[in-house]
Every structure is written in structure tokens, then in C-alpha cells.
Amino acid sequence: MQRVKCLSLMFLLWCLPIERGAIAQPCNVVLIFCDDLGYGDLGCYGSILNRTPNIDKLAAEGQRYTDFYSTSPVCTPSRASLLTGCYPRRVGLHEDATGHWVLIPRSRRGLSPEETTLPEMLKAAGYATACVGKWHLGDQIQHLPQAHGFDKYFGIPYSNDMQQAGRGDPPLPLVEQATVIEAPAEQSQLTQQYTREAVEFIENHQREPFFLYLPHTFPHLPLHASERFLGNSRNGRYGDSVEEIDWSTGEILDCLKRLGLKDNTMVIFTSDNGSNGRNGGSNAPLAGAKGSTMEGGMRVPMVVRLPGVVPAGTVCSELATTMDLLPTLVSFAEGKMPAHEIDGRDISSLLRGESGARSPHEVFYYYRRRQLQAIRWRNWKWHLPLASTFPRWNDATFKSKGRAGKLIDLETDLKEQVDVSSNHPKVMAKMRVFAKDATQDLGNEAEAGARQRQALTLDHSVPMVLP
């Protein structure tokens, strides 16, 4: 009897460290971030053209969001939000200071080193970190991924269409850490290369917590796919590139399964902004496209899987945003939040499918460049009346048409056509208060916000890293 007890005790002692270790290690994170993938481009969001079985399976094993927003309908501001948990205007990346909306090659601007980023917070919590793909938050050394908390970087530093010789753009560089390894990059190979690098990173860091950020280059124009996928979809080159991204997702999911990491890895799949609505992309059933503050420009697909935590096969219709991923992931990692204020909110209760869980956002602001164009509160969306819809406040020669305001009920009018403002004076009164709050806090057009942390004129006079 004594011997049995002793053996039982030994067995318990043998089991405990493993069990404790399994519980103590925070979950890994794989964040797949497409470029210009529209709301209607995936099978699990209704596409009947693009075949996306791996992403659809991810949604079936996890949670799919119907009202998930990017903070901007274009690349740079959207990415700034994802990595800082703030509206772009708060971190000074809502537009470039040179008249461009996004950063262009050799820009002297980039994500400020003063900001605390998601990878920095996860790194501080003991994570290995990698960015594999398109960066677009500055191409000088102090703006590249390693300066913002990524141990590893492999990819292109900005959009794949930024090769205007007349503007002085260099051939599109493929960068490893801070070294150009190919120029111009062979775009048809990018998704394959990203996938190999991603899988290798997971394999190399399988015994420690890791954060893999995989911002794909496609389906941003110009569209490319490798030989295996080119011409194989039912949706031209757009479908080819989307189906290659689906294959890539499958490779990563297979790798996690093969290494026994499936149950302890949160996989998130989303997009930086809507599709441009041409060349095969779809934002259906939403109206509008990339570049606009209509739903099709900023509402994006989002699926997340974490077995045992995120209930499988669920759909969440609460409002959530790319800004929320920072506080949510830092909370899962048991990391430390930044000391300064952020706009993102922890959506763990939504992810866990807790009954009665509600969006942590009372209100959501749609900015286009420096202009507040729309506000969402509950099911209501107010398109503000605007004197000009494409403001270049420092360009006196620029003229554009204004527009009348309208209040939309998103529950019944996803096409955003019918103005119901006259029927809802209380909603309109609430919206005007929100507009005033946003203007005071974040700024609006030429008016600076009281709590913008980074000014638009940020200018680092240092040598540029890329040729």
C-alpha cells in the first residue's frame, strides 16, 4: 500500500511540471493580414467565385465577425492602427505630409519610435516576433519592423505598385531584416516565399511563445500568383491570388497541427481595408470600396480560432476593430499595456463567446485622411455633411464636391442609400455630440486634436536605407 502511495506521488510529481508548463505558456499568435481583400471575397463571407476552403475551415473551427472594422480605407493608416491600437490620427499616420494619403518610397516619415507597438509588448512578455510580408509604415531604418519590436523581417517595405520611376521610386525591394536581397522583387513568388519564411519561423520557435505577423502583398494591385495558381481560379488573377493566400493559410495551419501547436495558437485572418471593387474584388453585400468611408471601404472579413477558448462555428455581430487586437492579444499574453491612452479595447469576452458580451465601443469614427466623414453608434451611421470630400486643406487650388449629410440605419440599409435623419432627431443630437468629441480629441481637417500624440510634420533627417 505504501509503495502504491509512493508511486502515485511520484506519478503526480512527474505530471505536475508538464501540466503547469502547458497552462503557464501563453498562446502563440498568427495574425494573417491581407491587403485590399474585400468583405465578400471569402467563401465563409458568401463568395461563390473564390475557393477558400482553408479559411472557411478556420471560420468553422472558430469565430467569424460580421461588423469588424479597419480604421482607414487605405494601407498605411490601417496598419498604424493595428500595431498601435490607436486611430491613425492619434499617431500621426492618417496621411503623409507630402500630399499623399499613404507613405510612398523614400518617405521621411514612418511609425514614430515613440509609439509602443503590439510586437514590442509581446516581445516584452517573452514572445519571439516576426513580420513576414508588406510593411508600409516607413522604409528608413528607424521605421522598419526591427525598430518596432520584430526580431525578424522578410518582405516588401511598401505597396507592390510603388515603382514609379518618374517619382524616383527604386525597383520594388525584397528586404530581409534591413538588407535588400532582390530588386525588383519577383512578385509571382512572394506568397510562396512568405509562406516558407512563416513556416520556418514557427518551426524555429515552436518551444517558446511566438507572434507571427503575416501581412500579405495581395490581392493589392498589380495581381500576381505563382505558376501553380495562375489561371486556375474562376475569378481571373484576383481569384488566383486569393486562392494562393488560402493555400498559404492551409500550409500554416498544417504546420501548427504537425507541431502540436494547434490548441495553443490563436490564428487571426483579416484585411487592412476593403477591395477596390474592380479587377475581381468584392465587398458584397456592402456598398463602397477601398478609399471610401462607406462600409465596403472599412468593414473587413475577420475570423479567429483558438480551440478551447473561442467557441467553434460561432458568428459575432458586435462592433470590433483592428485597434482591439493589441489590447486583446496583450491580455492573452499576460503582457503589460502601454502607459499612454489607446483607442482599442479588449474584446476577449467576445472571443470567448461569453453570453451577453457586448462591443466595448460606444462609438466608431470613420476618418478619410484628416477628415471625419462618418460616425457609427449602435445600428446608426451618420455621414456628416461635408463642404469638400477630399480635403487638402493646404492646397488652395484643389476643389472637390461636397455632400449632404445622411443618417443610415445599417440594420435595414447596408447599401447606405436612405437618409432617415428627419425621423430620428435624438439620434442626430447624439451624433453631433460624438462629432464634437472626435474633433476635440483626434482633430478634424485643419483643426488639431487635443490628444493627438504625433504631429503630421514628423520628419527624420537621416539617410534612407533603401536604394
Closest by Cα among 302, 338, 343, 298 to 81: 343
Q: Which one of residues 34, 44, 75, 350 is an interface residue with Mg ion (CB under 5 A)?
A: 75
Nearer to Mg ion, 218 or 434 (CB): 218
Number of Cβ atoms within 10 Å of the Cβ of 108? 17
Q: Are 211 and 129 in contact (CB under 8 A)?
A: yes
With contacts defined by CB under 5 A, name the span among 41-49, 165-173, 265-273, 307-315 that binds Mg ion.
265-273
User: Which cell numbers in the block locate residue 131?
Assistant: 513580420
At a CB cut-off of 8 Å and minimum separation 6, what does 146 contact?
A: 153, 177, 178
Question: What is the closest distance, in whole angstroms, from the C-beta atom of residue 463 to Mg ion in the complex?
Answer: 28
Cβ 223 to Mg ion shortest distance, Å: 13
Cell numbers placing 210:
511566438
Q: How many residues in the shown chain lie near Mg ion by CB under 5 A?
A: 5
67 binds Mg ion (CB under 5 A): no
Q: Which is nearer to Mg ion, 56 or 272 (CB)?
A: 272
- Could you give the CA distance from residue 119 to residue 41 in angstroms, rounded to a whole number? 28
Rounded Cα distance, 408 and 138, in Å:
37
Assess whether 220 carries a catalytic annotation: no
Q: Rule CB under 5 A: choose which of 96, 272, 346, 416 binds Mg ion.
A: 272
Cα distances (angstroms) measured from residue 264 to each of 130, 257, 267, 326, 329: 18, 10, 10, 18, 13
Q: What is the dihedral of CA 54, 77, 131, 43, to 10 degrees?
A: 0
CB of 436 to Mg ion, least distance (A): 30
The binder of Mg ion chosen from 273, 276, 293, 322 (CB under 5 A): 273
Residues paired with residue 391 on neighbouring β-strands, in sequence order: none
What backbone phi and psi angles, to 5 degrees, belong to 340? -80, 165
- From 34, 75, 86, 131, the catalytic residue: 75
Q: Which residue is nearest to Mg ion (CB)?
A: 75
First to last CA, the chain: 77
* The three grid cell numbers given for residue 90, joined into one nine-digit string: 492619434
CB of 30 to Mg ion, least distance (A): 20
Q: How far is the CB of 79 from Mg ion (least distance, A)?
A: 8
Q: Choose the stretch contacting Mg ion; rule: CB under 5 A; options: 147-155, 198-206, 266-274, 421-429.
A: 266-274
Of 73-81, 291-299, 310-318, 432-440: span binding Mg ion (CB under 5 A): 73-81
Residue with smaller CB distance to Mg ion, 35 or 295: 35
Residue 131 is a catalytic residue? no
Report d(CA 305, CA 318) in Å as an integer: 17
**Shortest separation between residue 353's beta carbon and Mg ion, angstroms:** 30
- Phi/psi of residue 21, nearest 5 degrees: -60, -45
Tell me whether residue 160 or residue 273 sits nearer to Mg ion (CB atom): 273
CB distance 197 to 154 below 8 Å: yes
DSSP code at position 37: -
Residue 175 corresponds to which cell in the numbers above? 528586404
Which residues in 358-387 contact Mg ion (CB under 5 A)? none
Nearest to 310 by CA among 346, 350, 344: 350
- CA 307/CA 266 separation, integer angstroms: 8
Nearest approach in angstroms of CB 257 to Mg ion is: 30
In the complex, least distance from residue 457 CB atom to Mg ion, rounded to whole angstroms: 25
Which residue number, 81 or 452, has a Cβ lying nearer to Mg ion?
81
Which residue in 34, 44, 131, 136 is the catalytic one? Answer: 136
From residue 405, give the alpha-carbon distance in Å to each of 72, 182, 197.
20, 49, 48
In terms of CB distance, is 75 or 132 closer to Mg ion? 75
Site string for Mg ion, 22-41 (x = CB under 5 A): -------------xx-----
Q: Which residue number, 137 or 408, has a Cβ lying nearer to Mg ion? A: 137
Q: Specify the residue, 322 or 348, whose C-beta has the smaller distance to Mg ion.
A: 322
Question: Residues interacting with Mg ion, by CB under 5 A?
Answer: 35-36, 75, 272-273
Give the active site residues. 75, 136
